[in-house]
Structure formats: C-alpha cells, structure tokens
Amino acid sequence: MAPIANQPVGVFDSGVGGLTVLHELLVSLPGEDYLYLGDTARFPYGERSQAELEAFALQIADYLLSAGAKLLVIACNAASSAALGAVESMIRRTMRSGAQIDVIGVVGPATQLAVAGSRSGRIGLLATPATVASQAYERAVLGADPHVHLESVACPDLAPIIQGGFPFDERVVETVRSYCVPLRSAEVDTVILGCTHYPLVAPMLQRSLGRGVALVTSGAGVARSVERALASRGLLNPQSGEGAYRFMCTADVESFRAVGTRFLQMPLGEVAHVDLSARVAA
C-alpha cells in the first residue's frame, strides 16, 4: 500500500541517542507524527560487526514499515554507515504498486554541514569504532570535496557512558579530553559528532577543543532532508496542530523513559516494549 501523508515518520537508533535527532524533527516539523524505536536490548551498536548492524537495521526497518511508517530515519551513525543501502534495497524489493519510501541516514547530512562550514578544510570526526571502521564518513567527505582532510577518532567508551545517565564525574571529563587530543593536534576547525549520543556532552567537547572549533551534529541536517523528501512525494502532514509521537524500546521501559527524557528534552509519556527476536527482515 502506498504511504499517505498522515502516517508517521519512523525513527530508530540503538538506544536513546537518536532522540537528539528526533528533537530536531519535532521542532522543525512539528505537524508530523513520529514513531521511535530504541534497540536498547542490543545496545551498544558501536562495536558490532557490519553484518550484525545490517541485520539489526533490516529487522527494525521491517517492523517500522509494518507499523505504517511513510519514511525511515536511521538515527544511528553505526547503523547508517553499515546498512543504509541495504535498507533502501529491501524497500525497493518489497514495496508494492511502485510506491517508494525514503530512508534518511545521519552520515550525509552531517558531512554536508561540516564540509560547507570548514574554513581550513581540516575536519575531525568523533564516532564509535564501528562507524570509524566503516569509513562511511571518509567516503562522504571525499564525495563532497576531495581536498578536505578528515581526522577520525574512535571513541569506544563514550556512548555507553552517556547512555548510562547523569551526572558526569571527573573520569568522564578526562575521557572526553583524551578523545579530543588528536583533533587538537590535527588543527581541525570543525568536528563532526558522529554518534547521536555525543550532543549531550557538547559543552565538554567544546571546552576541550576550544571555542574556535565548530561542532556539527546531524539533527538539523536530517530534519532538512526529511522535509525535502516528504515534500517531493507530497507526503507532508497537512494537519495544522502538533503531531503525536510514540516510543518503543526492546529492553527496560523505565530505564529508557528516565534517560530518554533528558535526551529529548520533552516528556516521553508511555513507552511500549517490543520483542524483535521473532521477526525476520523481508
């Protein structure tokens, strides 16, 4: 069945980090309905293999499509890097009547903003080991401007620390500082926060990198891409008021709600638990 305008936008992530992207969507496209799934049972994605990430993303995409999503946002850098093309191919194979559903990842929008904003052509990337290993950002930067240099730093500890909640102690501050050292040495003027958890420690990162370094997150760029994709297919929700948003996770609901409220900066309300173990992607 072809997607219609009043169906929800589906958003998924390994946990609560993608809520930083959803926050931008709620602000930029308030009339849309949203369906968010956090795969907290399999968090973190950052040290998973590319094959695992692709399998997880296909499974979740299949679930959200069956729930009526008219567009998918992969609000996870590791999953976007490993599985964006695979999800797009799955949709092309399974959609009927020639209908098409767009899939928006986080790598392209963040890269475009960083390359456009860099004055020196020296850009840094802070990301999970899986995202760095995929070299998705290197390919995206090369495609945007072959003269830009990208300095990538894998941060295995950062997303789990942030997902674990607040407050942060001096150990966390030292961890953040250690990841910034190679970027300072490389004299970058722009840093991509290549994990949707990282905006929550942006003040620490900014202090460590210096005020002359611009931090780039994917949320604003993703919101623009979603708006353009929906508009091009005539799928912008026509309602004049605020849309609804619903949440699901694959592990503990109360933990997701407690940490997720801080990420979204809005109340989550009811969170439903879903079991993806029995589902097989088409």
Question: What's the CA gap between 42 and 13, in Å, rounded?
Answer: 10
Q: Are strands 190-194 and 245-249 parallel, antiparallel or unpaired?
A: unpaired
Quick one: tokens of 104? 């928006």
Report CA Rg, the chain: 18
Question: Pick from 121, 120, 152: which is nearest to 136 by CA?
Answer: 152
Amino acid identity of residue 5, one-letter, is A
Q: Are 73 and 25 in contact (CB under 8 A)?
A: yes
The b-or-e profile of 214-250 (16+ CB within 10 A means b, else e) is: bbbbbbbbbbbbbeebbeebebbbeeeeebebbbbbb
| Catalytic annotation, pick one of 155, 180, 195, 249 | 195
* Tokens 């150990």 found at: 171
Cβ neighbours of residue 31 closer than 8 Å, sequence gap 6 or more:
236, 237, 238, 239, 240, 241, 242, 243
Q: Is the peptide bond before 238 cis (omega within 30 degrees of 0)?
A: no
- Would residue 76 show up in a list of annotated catalytic residues for this protein? yes
Q: Is the peptide bond before 199 cis (omega within 30 degrees of 0)?
A: no
- Would residue 249 show up in a list of annotated catalytic residues for this protein? no
Quick one: tokens of 116? 């456009």
| Catalytic annotation, pick one of 76, 155, 180, 249 | 76
Whole-angstrom distance between the N-terminal and C-terminal Cα of the chain? 16
Q: Return the active site residues.
A: 76, 195
